[in-house]
C-alpha cells in the first residue's frame, strides 16, 4: 500500500514537472516578440529595454530562465509561494491576483459538486432500481435535458425566473461569505444549480448504467440468496461496486473546473479564475494565463493522485496489483 | 414418485412451470416439473445446459425477477407455498431455511468485501447479533468447512482465495443458519478435478451432520453417481426420468439417459467408445412438438413427434419416465446397450 502511494506520488511530481516545462515553452518561448516590450510601456529606449530584460532575466540563456521559473514555482519568489511572476499590465504579482480570485471559483465548484454528486447518484439509483417505469423515464428525460442544455442559456433562464420574476435568489455578482453568509448563499445558489445541472445529468446516467450492470453480477444474486433486504442488496452490494468509476469521474471533473467554470462565472458575474484567465488572454497578459493554466494542471495532477489513492481504498484488488 | 407423507419430507414441488416472455416470444424454460426432497436425501438434477435445471432452483428460491417471469405450480415447504409467499416472507426463508451454493465461486463473492464480512452479513441478515459475534461465527464456519488459519483468512478478500477455498466459503455462508435445504447449482463445474471431489465430500459431510436435504444440480453424471440418492433427468425444461439413483444407474429407462450415460467418459472406457448424442438441445422459444427429445432420439416412432409421452411408471419394478417405448422395448434396448458398453 505504501509502495503503491509512493509510486503514484513520484509520477505526480514527474507530471507536474512536465506541465511546468510545457507551460514555460507555450507562454514564454513560443509567443513572438520580446516580452520586455510589454513591460516597457510606449516607445521605450534601448537602455530601458535592456534594463527590463535584465530584471526579467531575459538576457540569460533559456535553461537558466526555465530553471528560475521552475525554482520559483516550487520554492516561491519575493511574493511568496508559489512564485508565478508578475503581470505585464500592472506589474503586480500573479500569485496575489490568483489567490484573490481562487476562493470564488473554489466555492462555486464545491457547492456545485456536492449538489451534482448527491442528486446525480440518487437519481441514477432510483432510475436503475425502477427501470422502465415512469420514474426512470422522467429521470432520464431530465438527464437528457441537463446534458443538452447550453449553460449560458440555463444560467440566464435561472436568473430571469428565480431572481427577476420570483425574487427567490440573489442576482448576479459575488458576495464574500465573510461579508454576509446569507447574501453569499443567495447569490451562489443559482450558479451552483446551473453548474451542477450538466454534471448531475452525466452522473445520473453513469450511475444508472453502472448499477444496472452490477446488479446483473453473480455476487448480487448471492447477496439476495443470503436473504438480505432489497435495499441492502442495492445500496450496499450494488452501489459499492458501481462507485469506483464515479469516483474517478468526480476527481477529474473537479480538477478540470479549477481552470475555471468560465461560462457560469461570466453569466453570474462571479469574477473567479476562469473570468481572470479569459480577460488576461484578451489583453495578452500572458503570465496570468500561464499562472491559471499551471494551477489548473497541477490541480488535475493532484486530483489524479487522490483518485488513485482512493481507488486503493475502494477496491482491494488494486492494492495488490 | 409419490412424496412420502412422513415428517422427513422437506420440499414438495408440484407442476412447476417457468416462462420468460421475451420480444422474440415466450421461453418455456421449465414445464410441469414435480419432485420432492426429504431430510438426508441428495437429489441429483441432471441435464444439458438449458434444460431448466438451474431455473427451477432459482424459481424455488424466489431469485427470478417476478416482473419478468411467469411462474406457475406449487412449491410446498413446511406447508407453505413459496411461490405465493409475499417477497419479504420469502426473503426470511431464503438463506435461513433454504440456502444456495452457486456454480462460479469466482463471480459469486463480492470482490470488495472481506470473506469473513460476507459470511457475517449472512448471519446478521436473519439474526440480531452484534458484529463481533457474527464475525466469530464466520471464523468458526470457515474453520468448519476446512479453511486453514480461518481466523486470519476471514480477513482476506475473495481474490486472495483459490477457487476451491471460495466454494468452501460459499458453503460456509450457506450453512450459517443450519438450513433445512441446501441447493447446490453446479458447485464443482468451475473447479479443478482434484478439488471437485473435496467439495462433493464436504457437501456430503454437511448433509449427514445437519441431516438436511440437498439438491445437487449438475451436468456431470459422475458427480451424481457418487453422491445422489435419487436422480431427476431433465431435458428442454421437462422431466425425462426420475427415480432412485440405484434404479437410474443400473436400469436407465429413457433413451436420453442412455445417451447421457454413453457419452460420459470414465477411466475404463476408451474415447472411441463414447457415443455422443447427435444434434443439439432444442430452442426453448419453440420446443419440438410431442416428446421434446424426439428429433435426437434414435428410437423414435410415430407417436413421438405428435404426442407428448406422460411421466409414468411403465412397470411395477420400474421408476418414472416419459417415453412412448413399451416396457419390453425399454428392457430389450437397455440390455443391448449394456452389452455394447461392456464390449
Q: Are residues A144 and A203 in the same domain?
A: yes
| Confidence at A19, pLDDT banded by 50, 70, 90 | confident
List strand residue ranges (DSSP E) for chain A, in order: none
Determine whether the interchain pair A241/B110 forms a contact, defined as Cβ–Cβ distance below 8 Å. Answer: yes
Residue B261 has pLDDT above 90, yes or no: no
- What integer pLDDT is reported at residue A44 of this predicted model? 77
Residues 6 or more apart whose Cβ sits within 8 Å of residue A126 = A135, A136, A139
Name the minimum distance, in Å, from the CA of A214 to any CA of chain B: 11
Write down the pLDDT at residue B340.
Answer: 77
Together in a domain, A26 and A109: no
Q: Is B299 helix (H, G, I), strand (E, B) or coil?
A: coil
Q: Please provide the distance, in angstroms rounded to a whole number, between the alpha carbons at the two ends of chain B.
A: 34
Average pLDDT, chain B: 89
Specify whether the backbone of B210 is left (phi greater than 0), alpha (psi in -120 to 50) or beta: alpha
Same domain, A71 and A110: no
What ranges in B211-291 are assigned the alpha helix state H? 221-227, 245-250, 255-262
Whether residues A182 and A43 share a domain: the answer is: no
Domain end (from A87, A117, A144): A87
Q: How does residue B309 score in pLDDT terms, banded at 50, 70 and 90?
A: very high
* Min Cα–Cα distance to chain A from B278, Å: 32
Q: Does B139 map to a domain? A: no
Q: Which of A95, A36, A105 is nearest to A290 (CA)?
A: A95
Q: What is the pLDDT of residue B208?
A: 92
The range of the structural domain enclosing residue A44 comes to 2-87
Give the nearest chain B residue to A318 (CA atoms): B112
Percentage of the residues of chain B whose pLDDT score is greater than 70: 96
Task: Give the list of residues 6+ apart from residue A7 with CB closer than 8 angstroms, or none.
Answer: none
CB contact under 8 A, B63 and A222: no
Same domain, A79 and A121: no
Q: Are residues A49 and A126 in the same domain?
A: no
Task: Let me know whether A45 and A187 are in one domain.
Answer: no
Cβ(A233)–Cβ(B118) below 8 Å:
no
Q: Of A142, A101, A121, which is closest to residue A280 (Cα–Cα)?
A: A101
Last residue of a domain, one of A33, A61, A87: A87
Contact residues on chain A for B108, CB-CB shorter than 8 A: 218-219, 221-222
Out of A87, A119, A141, pick the residue that ends a domain. Answer: A87
When pLDDT is cut at 50, 70 and 90, the band that residue B74 belongs to is very high
Which of B222, B206, B123 lies closest to B168, judged by CA? Answer: B206
Please say if the pLDDT value at position B66 is more than 90: no
Check whether residue A9 and residue A56 sit in a common domain: yes
Residue A209: band (very low, low, confident or very high) from pLDDT cuts 50, 70, 90: very high
Q: Do A315 and B95 touch (CB under 8 A)?
A: no
Kindly give the pairing relationship between strand B230-235 and strand B238-244.
antiparallel
User: Which pLDDT tens digit goes with each residue over A89-116?
Assistant: 777 788 888 888 888 999 999 999 999 9
Task: Say yes or no: A231 and A291 in one domain.
Answer: yes
User: Over 80: is that where the pLDDT of A255 sits?
Assistant: yes
Domains identified in chain A, total number: 2
Is the residue at B126 inside a domain? no
Closest partner residue to B108 (CB to CB) among A222, A232, A316 is: A222
Confidence class for position A211, pLDDT limits 50, 70, 90: very high
Strand B213-218 versus strand B181-185 pairing type: parallel
- The answer to whether residue B214 scores a pLDDT higher than 90 is yes
pLDDT at A60: 81
Number of domains within chain B: 1
**pLDDT over 90 percentage in chain B:** 58
Question: Before A82, cis peptide (omega within 30)?
Answer: yes
Q: Average pLDDT of B259-272?
A: 76
> What is the model's pLDDT at position B229?
93
Per-residue model confidence as pLDDT tens digits over A43-71: 778 888 888 778 777 778 888 888 888 88
pLDDT tens profile A141-173: 988 998 899 988 998 999 999 888 888 888 788
Checking if the pLDDT of A277 tops 80, the result is: yes
The DSSP secondary-structure symbol of A194 reads H
Strand, coil or helix: B258: helix
CB contact under 8 Å between A227 and B112, yes or no, is no
Same domain, A199 and A75: no
Q: What's the domain range around B247?
A: 9-109+161-342
Give the largest CA-CA distance in chain B. Answer: 67
By the 8 A CB rule, do B134 and B141 touch?
A: no
d(CA A270, CA A103): 11
Clarify whether residues A207 and A176 are in a common domain.
yes
Interface of B with A in 62-91 (CB under 8 A): 63, 87-88, 91
CATH number at residue A129: 1.10.3720.10
In contact, B263 and B274? CB cutoff 8 Å: yes
Contacts B91 to A, Cβ<8 Å: 227-230
Same domain, A203 and A279: yes
- Which of these ranges, A21-30, B99-108, B211-220, B255-264, has the smallest mean pLDDT? A21-30
**For residue A232, what pLDDT is reported?**
92
Interface of A with B (CB under 8 A): 217-219, 221-230, 232, 237, 240-241, 314-317, 320
Query: ipTM exceeding 0.95?
Result: no
Question: Please, where are the H alpha helices in chain B?
Answer: 53-61, 87-93, 105-108, 115-126, 131-144, 150-153, 163-175, 193-210, 221-227, 245-250, 255-262, 327-342
The reported pLDDT for the residue numbered A96 is: 85
Q: Is the pLDDT of residue B264 over 80?
A: no
With 90 as the cut, is the pLDDT of residue A76 above it?
Answer: no
pLDDT surpassing 80 at residue B64 = yes
What pLDDT sits at residue A118?
Answer: 94
Whether pLDDT at B233 is above 90: yes
B157 touching chain A per CB within 8 A = yes
> What are the pLDDT digits (tens) for B139-186?
999 998 889 999 999 999 999 999 889 999 999 999 999 899 999 998
Residue B267 sits in a domain whose CATH number is 3.40.50.300
Amino acid at each position: 500500500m505504501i509502495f503503491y502511494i509512493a509510486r503514484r506520488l513520484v509520477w505526480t511530481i514527474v507530471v507536474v514537472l512536465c506541465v511546468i516545462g510545457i507551460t514555460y515553452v507555450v507562454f514564454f518561448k513560443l509567443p513572438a516578440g520580446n516580452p520586455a516590450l510589454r513591460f516597457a510601456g510606449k516607445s521605450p529606449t534601448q537602455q530601458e529595454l535592456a534594463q527590463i530584460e535584465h530584471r526579467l532575466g531575459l538576457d540569460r540563456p533559456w535553461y537558466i530562465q526555465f530553471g528560475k521559473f521552475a525554482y520559483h514555482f516550487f520554492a516561491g519568489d519575493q511574493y511568496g509561494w508559489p512564485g508565478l511572476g508578475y503581470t505585464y499590465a500592472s506589474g503586480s504579482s500573479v500569485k496575489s491576483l490568483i489567490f484573490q480570485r481562487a476562493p470564488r471559483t473554489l466555492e462555486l465548484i464545491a457547492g456545485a459538486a456536492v449538489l451534482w454528486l448527491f442528486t446525480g447518484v440518487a437519481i441514477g439509483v432510483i432510475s436503475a432500481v425502477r427501470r422502465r417505469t415512469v420514474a426512470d423515464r422522467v429521470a432520464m428525460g431530465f438527464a437528457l435535458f441537463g446534458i443538452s442544455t447550453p449553460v449560458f442559456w440555463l444560467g440566464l433562464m435561472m436568473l430571469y425566473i428565480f431572481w427577476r420574476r420570483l425574487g427567490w435568489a440573489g442576482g448576479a455578482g459575488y458576495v464574500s461569505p465573510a461579508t454576509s453568509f446569507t447574501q453569499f448563499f443567495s447569490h451562489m445558489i443559482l450558479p451552483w444549480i446551473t453548474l451542477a445541472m450538466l454534471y448531475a445529468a452525466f452522473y445520473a446516467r453513469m450511475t444508472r448504467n453502472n448499477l444496472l450492470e452490477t446488479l446483473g453480477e453473480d455476487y448480487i444474486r448471492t447477496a439476495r440468496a443470503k436473504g438480505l433486504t432489497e435495499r441492502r442488496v442495492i445500496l450496499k452490494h450494488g452501489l459499492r461496486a458501481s462507485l469506483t468509476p464515479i469516483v474517478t469521474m468526480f476527481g477529474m471533473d473537479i480538477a478540470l473546473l479549477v481552470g475555471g467554470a468560465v461560462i457560469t462565472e461570466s453569466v453570474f458575474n462571479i469574477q473567479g479564475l476562469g473570468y481572470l484567465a479569459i480577460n488576461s488572454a484578451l489583453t495578452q497578459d500572458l503570465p496570468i494565463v500561464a499562472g491559471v493554466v499551471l494551477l489548473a494542471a497541477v490541480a488535475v495532477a493532484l486530483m489524479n493522485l487522490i483518485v488513485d489513492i482512493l481507488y486503493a481504498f475502494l477496491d482491494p484488488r488494486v492494492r495488490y496489483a | 414418485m409419490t412424496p412420502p407423507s412422513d415428517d422427513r419430507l422437506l420440499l414438495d414441488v408440484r407442476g412447476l412451470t417457468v416462462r420468460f416472455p421475451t420480444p422474440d416470444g415466450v421461453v418455456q424454460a421449465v414445464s410441469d416439473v414435480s419432485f420432492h426432497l426429504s431430510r438426508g436425501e441428495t437429489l441429483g438434477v441432471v441435464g444439458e445446459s438449458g434444460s431448466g435445471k438451474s431455473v427451477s432452483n432459482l424459481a424455488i428460491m424466489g431469485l427470478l425477477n417476478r416482473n419478468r417471469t411467469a411462474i406457475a405450480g406449487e412449491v410446498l415447504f413446511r406447508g407453505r407455498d413459496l411461490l405465493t409467499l409475499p417477497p419479504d416472507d420469502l426473503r426470511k426463508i431464503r438463506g435461513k431455511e433454504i440456502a444456495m451454493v452457486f456454480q462460479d465461486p469466482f463471480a459469486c463473492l463480492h470482490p470488495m468485501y472481506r470473506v469473513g464480512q460476507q459470511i457475517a452479513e449472512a448471519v446478521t441478515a436473519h439474526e440480531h447479533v452484534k458484529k463481533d459475534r457474527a464475525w466469530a461465527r464466520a471464523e468458526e464456519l470457515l474453520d468448519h468447512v476446512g479453511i486453514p488459519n480461518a481466523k486470519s483468512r476471514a480477513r482476506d478478500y475473495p481474490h486472495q482465495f483459490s477457487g476451491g477455498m471460495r466454494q468452501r466459503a460459499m458453503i460456509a455462508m450457506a450453512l450459517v443458519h443450519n438450513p433445512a435445504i441446501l441447493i447446490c447449482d453446479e458447485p464443482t463445474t468451475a473447479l479443478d478435478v482434484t478439488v471437485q471431489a473435496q467439495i462433493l465430500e464436504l457437501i456430503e459431510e454437511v448433509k449427514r451432520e445437519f441431516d438436511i436435504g440437498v439438491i445437487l444440480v449438475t451436468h456431470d453424471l459422475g458427480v451424481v453417481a457418487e453422491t445422489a440418492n435419487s436422480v431427476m433427468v431433465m431435458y428442454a425444461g421437462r422431466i425425462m426420468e426420475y427415480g432412485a439413483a440405484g434404479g437410474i444407474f443400473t436400469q436407465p429407462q429413457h433413451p436420453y439417459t442412455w445417451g447421457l450415460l454413453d457419452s460420459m467418459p470414465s477411466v475404463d472406457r476408451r474415447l472411441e467408445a463414447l457415443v455422443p448424442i447427435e444434434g443439439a438441445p432444442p430452442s426453448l422459444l419453440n420446443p419440438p412438438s410431442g416428446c421434446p427429445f424426439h428429433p435426437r432420439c434414435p428410437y423414435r416412432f410415430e407417436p413421438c413427434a405428435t404426442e407428448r409421452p406422460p411421466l409414468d411408471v411403465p412397470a411395477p419394478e420400474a421408476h418414472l419416465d416419459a417415453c412412448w417405448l413399451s416396457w419390453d422395448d425399454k428392457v430389450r434396448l437397455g440390455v443391448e446397450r449394456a452389452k455394447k458398453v461392456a464390449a
